[in-house]
């Protein structure tokens, strides 16, 4: 590593109150909150800038405008087996990291889907935003897996409200303990008639099982100048700001304060620790294009590089004081990586309701909150539980093998509305496990000379048993509801495809077995805060982004207050 | 139904495996350069497409949707040399069959004879062990793919509203009402095919 010769003047001009590393789901929130608290804030983003609306080149494309009808070229699919597993196609590919551009090493198969640009993966996410339950913050304590969360639901509740009000969350107030109610805009739409039937069936036959409309970070009515036209093209970037992305919301809000400096193309090499001061003093950055090194200095540093990349930066920030990575006295850094178990589920056909249909799009599905190991339910072969992403729908195509294979009748059958189908995909909690880990590869570096990350993450017996139950229970409910032609799957697909990788720098009560305290502050380096998914102590089974946002807003407000008090 | 059966059924109904599937025809020796389709080939392909998905009183057909041009684009850009050779040779084979049976090339046959000839190819494919690499299946799949992602199909064969600005969860439907066109993602036609067959969802 060549440390550039920076004179004092240059250092002064590169001084800020705060530096935020990362500009996505959580980094955008850190930037907004710190800037609104009056802190001069530098936001470092390793990728290019993506300006809301202006940089969504495919947002209004129609499928026939594309020569290949928005289908990925077979060579591109073959060259990108990892990213091609997610919503990667010609209309979205400019937001995804192609496999060979930023390699990583998989000791066990792990799919790491990344979006290196301002806004990160907040541009392409699935927008499901259930709050965590009170018991989710206590599961580790109760069953002894992982360490106890240093916070409880009550600590986070006001911050859930804070981020929901700004982000715009649509949903019903369902009154369920598993997914507490929040500050909701009206739901995006009602359930369709088959979903309503299934809700009624499930809720009257299974105590403590519910079917609700998923809370979604789409705005069902005009909200802060944003509107959702129900185009259902969210992942291309929405020029109307119909859903929450950092680009459409937090980054412009931070910019509006006049306190933000956004520096794209800034690959963070490491955080600079000053042993005399006993704290971090700045960040070492490599310009992605010129490969020149710069140093930026600040009073506080927020690490929001996107879970695994935040871990990579911590591990690469070594010093005499921290030879095993910044803040890693406990040596748990990189361990207890979690994700969500999305392996299995069931689908079926529904007889009847052939005179019913729906109009328009509802860019969100229905949701069956956790019911396993909850209330009176007790499973004997797995801990914790799962939710289902549930939907019913109808598509064109009403062909049977005996129908005419060509001609007018064939075409008519192909355009005719087919039967109703239902689908429930499980979303399971993963236990914190020491052996699920990431670390720096000893031999290989990237094009900026930074070690590659190596992933060693896999399923455990708890996950296998839960996957089997997710599949079988969905099939049982469909069968009991009278649905036909039930199919089930357990793809046993490599972890990571859910894009919920988290943990590795967990929050905890004891510096001996955790990296961060209850305010996402490093136990050992008080002016460094980690508030993206890396901070997670357990995974629950809810989609995690809303919780990252709330945790980040809370941590940023705490950090700004501590700084003003002179405590950092 | 197992995956093999499902794929085989899909092959018959919807036109073979997904184009560009890995190692689709690996192991074949490349005997000659990738063929280039001519204007008259595109005219021919539009007629094949129109026979599979003809214009009706309610919506334009494959020819109006220019599926011949679309087939040319995919064969040129996506197909391997081996696939393109099978595809191009298929054009000659269909014209030979047409000449043998009716004494004229395919394009010049009336609609009824075109339909009859393609029905014979449907039967031939059903007896084949390797539907995916049959030229007729390639043509049928590309016809379906091209037509059901075309503007003509979206606006005439379906109901298309790119900005519905609302969602009505339950409306009445009767046979003959138009279905919403799905603008999302790659290969709407392929999604329709997957949704309407009973194929194993793990495939």
Angle between helices A545-564 and A27-36 (to 10 degrees): 30
Closest CA to A247 of A233, A232, A234, A265: A234
B96: Cβ contacts below 8 Å, ≥ 6 apart: none
* 3-state class (DSSP) for residue B18: coil
Q: At what angle do helices B188-196 and B135-147 cross, to 10 degrees?
A: 110
A contact test, residue of B17, B185, B193 with most A CBs within 10 A: B185
- Most B CBs within 10 Å, among A396, A403, A416, to test the B interface: A396
Q: Which helix (H) or strand (E) holds A269?
A: strand A266-274
Token pair listed for A56: 């969504």
Mutation site for B-interface testing, chosen from A71, A170, A487 by largest number of B Cβ within 10 Å = A71
Residues 6+ away with beta carbon under 8 Å from B13: A399, A401, A405, B193, B197
CA dihedral B105, B109, B111, B113 (to 10 degrees): -90
Q: Six-digit token pair at A194?
A: 């088959």
ipTM at complex level: 0.89
A189 touching B (Cβ < 8 Å)? yes
Task: State the smallest CA–CA distance between residue B133 and chain A in angstroms.
Answer: 16
The strand pairing partners of A412, in sequence order, are none
- A246 close to A95: Cβ distance less than 8 angstroms: no
Q: What is the dihedral of CA A367, A370, A376, A382, to 10 degrees?
A: 140
Q: Could you tell me which of A162, A89, A167, A86 has the C-alpha nearest to residue A121?
A: A86
The residue of chain A with its CA nearest to that of B182 is: A395
B73/A406 Cβ within 8 A = no
Nearest CB to B179: which of A396, A405, A407?
A: A396
CA torsion A310→A314→A315→A320, rounded to 10°? 170
User: How far apart are the CA of A556 and the nearest CA of chain B, in angstroms?
Assistant: 36
| Each residue's pLDDT expressed in tens, for chain A with a length of 568 residues | 444 444 444 555 689 999 999 999 999 999 999 999 999 999 999 999 999 999 999 999 999 999 999 888 888 988 998 988 878 889 999 999 999 999 999 999 999 999 999 999 999 999 999 999 999 999 999 999 999 999 999 999 999 999 999 999 999 999 999 999 999 999 999 999 999 999 999 999 998 999 999 999 999 999 999 999 998 899 999 999 999 999 999 999 999 999 999 999 999 999 999 999 999 999 999 999 999 999 999 999 999 999 999 999 999 999 999 999 999 999 999 999 999 999 999 999 999 999 999 998 888 899 999 999 999 999 999 999 999 999 999 988 887 878 899 999 999 988 889 899 999 999 999 999 999 999 999 999 999 999 999 999 999 999 999 999 999 999 999 999 999 999 999 998 999 989 999 999 999 999 999 999 999 999 999 999 999 999 999 999 999 999 999 999 999 999 999 999 999 9
- Residue A21: name the closest of A327, A253, A258, A271 by CA: A271
| The dihedral sign for the CA sequence B105, B111, B115, B118 | positive
Instruction: Quote the minimal CA–CA distance from B129 to chain A in Å.
Output: 18
Residues β-bridged to residue A42 = A19, A261
Query: What is the distance between the alpha carbons of residues B45 and A456, in angstroms, rounded to a whole number?
Result: 51
């Amino acid at each position: 590593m060549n440390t550039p010769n920076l004179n004092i003047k240059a250092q002064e001009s590169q001084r800020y109150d705060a530096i935020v590393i990362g500009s996505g789901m959580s980094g955008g929130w850190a930037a907004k909150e710190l800037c609104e608290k009056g802190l001069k804030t530098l936001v470092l983003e390793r990728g290019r800038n993506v300006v809301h609306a202006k940089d969504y080149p495919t947002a209004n494309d129609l499928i026939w405008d594309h020569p290949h009808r928005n289908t990925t070229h077979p060579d591109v699919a073959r060259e990108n087996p990892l990213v091609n597993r997610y919503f990667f196609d010609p209309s979205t590919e400019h937001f995804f990291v192609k496999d060979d551009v930023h390699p990583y090493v998989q000791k066990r198969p792990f799919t790491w889907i990344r979006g290196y640009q301002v806004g990160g993966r907040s541009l392409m996410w699935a927008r499901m935003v259930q709050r965590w339950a009170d018991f989710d913050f206590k599961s580790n304590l109760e069953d002894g897996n992982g360490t106890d969360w240093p916070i409880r639901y009550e600590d986070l509740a006001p911050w859930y409200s804070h981020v929901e009000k700004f982000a715009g969350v649509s949903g019903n107030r369902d009154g369920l303990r598993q997914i507490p109610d929040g500050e909701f805009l009206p739901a995006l739409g009602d359930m369709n008639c088959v979903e309503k039937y299934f809700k009624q069936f499930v809720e009257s036959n299974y105590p403590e099982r519910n079917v609700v409309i998923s809370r979604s970070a789409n705005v069902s009515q005009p909200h802060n100048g944003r509107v959702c036209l129900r185009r259902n093209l969210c992942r291309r970037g929405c020029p109307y700001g119909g859903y929450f992305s950092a680009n459409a919301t937090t980054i412009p809000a931070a910019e509006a304060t006049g306190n933000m400096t956004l520096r794209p193309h800034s690959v963070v090499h490491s955080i600079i620790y000053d042993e005399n001061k006993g704290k971090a003093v700045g960040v070492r950055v490599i310009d992605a294009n010129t490969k020149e090194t710069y140093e930026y200095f600040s009073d506080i540093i927020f690490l929001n590089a996107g879970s695994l990349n935040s871990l990579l930066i911590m591990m690469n920030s070594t010093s005499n004081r921290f030879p095993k990575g910044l803040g890693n006295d406990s040596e748990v850094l990189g361990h207890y990586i979690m994700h969500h178990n999305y392996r299995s589920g069931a689908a079926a056909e529904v007889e009847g309701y052939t005179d019913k249909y729906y109009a328009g799009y509802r860019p969100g599905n229905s949701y069956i909150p956790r019911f396993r190991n909850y209330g009176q339910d007790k499973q004997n072969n797995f801990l914790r539980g799962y939710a289902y992403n549930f939907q019913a729908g109808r598509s064109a195509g009403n062909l049977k093998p005996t129908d005419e294979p060509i001609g007018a009748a064939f075409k008519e059958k192909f355009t005719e509305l087919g039967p109703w189908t239902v689908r429930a995909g499980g979303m399971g909690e993963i236990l914190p496990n020491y052996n699920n880990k990431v670390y720096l590869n000893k031999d290989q570096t990237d094009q900026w000379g930074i070690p590659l990350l190596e992933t060693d993450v896999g399923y455990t017996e708890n996950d296998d048993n839960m996957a089997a139950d997710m599949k079988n229970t969905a099939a049982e409910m469909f069968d009991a509801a009278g649905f036909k032609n039930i199919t089930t799957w357990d793809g046993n697909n490599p972890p990571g495809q859910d894009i919920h990788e988290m943990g590795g720098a967990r929050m905890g009560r004891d510096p001996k077995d955790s990296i961060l305290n209850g305010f996402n502050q490093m136990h050992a380096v008080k002016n460094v805060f980690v508030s993206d998914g890396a901070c997670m102590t357990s995974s629950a089974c809810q989609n995690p982004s809303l919780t990252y946002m709330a945790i980040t807003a809370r941590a940023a407000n705490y950090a700004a207050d501590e700084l003003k008090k002179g405590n950092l | 139904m197992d995956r093999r059966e499902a794929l085989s059924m899909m092959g018959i109904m919807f036109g073979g495996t997904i184009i560009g599937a890995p190692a689709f025809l690996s192991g074949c020796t490349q005997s000659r350069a990738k063929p280039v389709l001519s204007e008259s080939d595109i005219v021919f392909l539009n007629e094949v497409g129109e026979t599979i998905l003809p214009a009706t009183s309610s919506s334009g057909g494959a020819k109006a949707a220019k599926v011949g041009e679309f087939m040319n684009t995919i064969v040129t850009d996506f197909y391997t040399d081996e696939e393109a050779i099978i595809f191009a040779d298929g054009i000659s084979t269909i014209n030979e069959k047409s000449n043998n049976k009716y004494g004229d090339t395919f394009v010049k046959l009336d609609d009824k004879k075109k339909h009859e000839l393609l029905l014979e190819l449907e039967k031939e494919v059903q007896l084949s062990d390797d539907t995916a690499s049959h030229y007729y299946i390639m043509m049928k799949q590309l016809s379906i793919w091209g037509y059901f992602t075309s503007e003509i199909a979206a606006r005439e064969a379906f109901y298309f509203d790119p900005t519905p600005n609302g969602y009505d969860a339950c409306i009445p439907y009767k046979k003959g009402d138009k279905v919403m066109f799905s603008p999302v993602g790659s290969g709407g036609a392929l999604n329709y095919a997957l949704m309407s067959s009973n194929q194993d969802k793990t495939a």
